[in-house]
Chain A
């Protein structure tokens, strides 16, 4: 009997993926010296990282956190407070932001006992609570409702390259997770948590790991964003639209696939730019239509639907 390896990650699939990550790295790294649009590429990298981070808990484990922005927001504020109040270097502040995001995720971990819409709603509520708490803390710490103005901490390129580093780390983590046994366990939990548990999967431990990973990358992204823009306030740092856009980008590409969030974000950010330039008045209307059409006609996202429709493609993409 012939024994081709269809189930495991094969060399071609890995080659394609790592080639793509390498290409992104080189392309984005070349933007500052080439005089490209730093803000646009920073924003793109930020959304890809957020969508990839969300994918760990939503795409792999099947838990949709509508309050995902809480980790991003706490990351921005940790950087802001560490630099402005504690006088720490921003290079130290960003990893601390990631750590604080993970601690917040541990605090919220009991919510993982819920599932479906109940988890989503509680998660959203916790994000709103975080926003209120930050607003109510003493002004000398969080700057109150006006937030914190960090100004220019370093040259902008440093923040830009740190975002690139976080993005590459997120993409490599995603590819590791997809090939790992933990990734398989998470996908089994997504498909049927009770059956997974009956098959010996430690469901609470596995989904906690995905949750912490998701929080880590959102908090790191928030931390770098505060550095890059130099300003933060509770309204924008905890804006629920950040979660909404992250969810839409990840879903448009395909939750549960490694490539999906990357493709979904790049396509939608590019389409958004295109519409914005061509139809400035109808921008949001047209973008809304496109997103609705995507969800209706390709419910598993671009990559997910491609893999569903053409099974042979599964051999080449993660």
Chain B
């Protein structure tokens, strides 16, 4: 079994004349948290959308656990075990919190009662149990981020793509999220994490990728990337 769970090779994504992701290659090893950083418009979310099939790539290859998932649909990629959260929370507004959590497991062989019990347990882990009968639209922005995390936990995927999980979330909710992410990593889940919150991403990541104008300009451990002159220039300018 290869150490790499996710391998991206020569990925290119264009929008008309704009090359949003340019010949990007990297791997994410099993059980790791790989942080993806870069300024706004660097192509981080586009890259995630290419990995989970929301965008069709123009060229390049995405391999998950040895399977080529490059031109698969998002639901097929999810079935392989790739879950994700979104930069702007995309909860199902008119579904109850319990039903929100049921969506990723609709194909499960478990009974509805068993799944409801699991959903309640996931909600309890992110402090949303008391709101379980409410609809998604009745939560605050930060709570919706937690709901997305609980939804992806319910799914129990092998790889989770987390897109800005800490954006707009208050410190106490952030602590809950970080605790849950660390718990899932300890249980063997792999992450690709996009965040502008450098403190959190430095704390959580085993490996960092720095994206600038659609290209990876640096990668390595936290110390390597933090002191890299190209990264400093990309973030702070000359």
Which residues in A have some Cβ–Cβ distance to B below 8 Å?
1, 3, 5-8, 181, 184-185, 187-188, 190-192, 194-203, 256, 311, 314-315
Contact = CB atoms under 8 A, between A and B. Distances in A.
A200 B78 CA distance: 5
A6 B133 contact: yes
Contact-residue bracket for chain B: 35 or more
A258 B113 CA distance: 22
Given A1-B129, A7-B96, A181-B112, 15 more contacts: A188-B95, A191-B93, A191-B94, A195-B91, A197-B78, A198-B52, A198-B75, A198-B83, A199-B103, A200-B106, A200-B107, A201-B75, A202-B75, A203-B75, A314-B133
A169 to B, nearest CB: 24
B63 interface: no
Given A7-B96, A187-B94, A199 B116 contact: no
B148 to A, nearest CB: 9
A6 B132 contact: yes
B92 A195 contact: yes
A127 to B, nearest CB: 28
A310 to B, nearest CB: 12
Contact of A198 (B54, B113, B116, B124): B54
A311 B116 contact: no
Nearest to A201: B75
A208 B98 CA distance: 25
Contacts of A191: 91-95, 136
B36 interface: no
B202 interface: no
23 contacts: A6-B98, A7-B98, A7-B102, A8-B98, A181-B102, A184-B102, A184-B106, A185-B103, A187-B92, A187-B95, A187-B99, A188-B95, A192-B91, A194-B54, A195-B92, A197-B74, A199-B155, A200-B75, A200-B79, A201-B103, A201-B106, A314-B133, A315-B133
B145 to A, nearest CB: 14
B73 interface: yes
Contact of A200 (B93, B94, B129, B155): B155
A1 B130 CA distance: 10
A197 B84 CA distance: 11
B117 interface: yes
A9 to B, nearest CB: 9
Given A5-B116, A200-B79, A185 B92 contact: no
Interface of B: 52-54, 73-75, 78-79, 83-84, 86, 90-99, 102-104, 106-107, 112-113, 116-117, 119-120, 124, 129, 132-136, 138, 151, 155
Contact of B113 (A8, A199, A311, A315): A8
Of A184, A187, A195, A202, the most chain B CB neighbours within 10 A belong to: A195
Nearest to B117: A3
B26 to A, nearest CB: 21
Nearest to B105: A200
B78 A199 contact: yes
A192 B151 CA distance: 14
A181 B113 contact: no
Contacts of A201: 75, 103, 106
Nearest to A189: B92
A230 B151 CA distance: 54
A199 B151 CA distance: 9
Given A187-B99, A199-B155, A200-B78, A8 B52 contact: no
Leading 6 A-B pairs by shortest Cβ distance:
A7-B98, A6-B133, A200-B78, A195-B90, A191-B92, A197-B74
B90 A185 contact: no
Contacts of A187: 92, 94-95, 99
A179 B225 CA distance: 51
A122 B106 CA distance: 31
A200 B104 contact: yes
A187 B112 CA distance: 17
Of A7, A256, A315, the most chain B CB neighbours within 10 A belong to: A7
Contacts of B124: 1
A3 B120 CA distance: 8
A184 to B, nearest CB: 6
A202 B90 CA distance: 17
A200 B151 CA distance: 12
Nearest to B86: A195
A314 to B, nearest CB: 7
B136 to A, nearest CB: 8
A181 B99 contact: no
Contacts of A200: 75, 78-79, 103-104, 106-107, 155
A184 B99 CA distance: 7
A192 B155 CA distance: 18
A311 B133 contact: yes
Contact of B92 (A3, A6, A188): A188
Contacts of A311: 133-135, 138
B75 A197 contact: yes
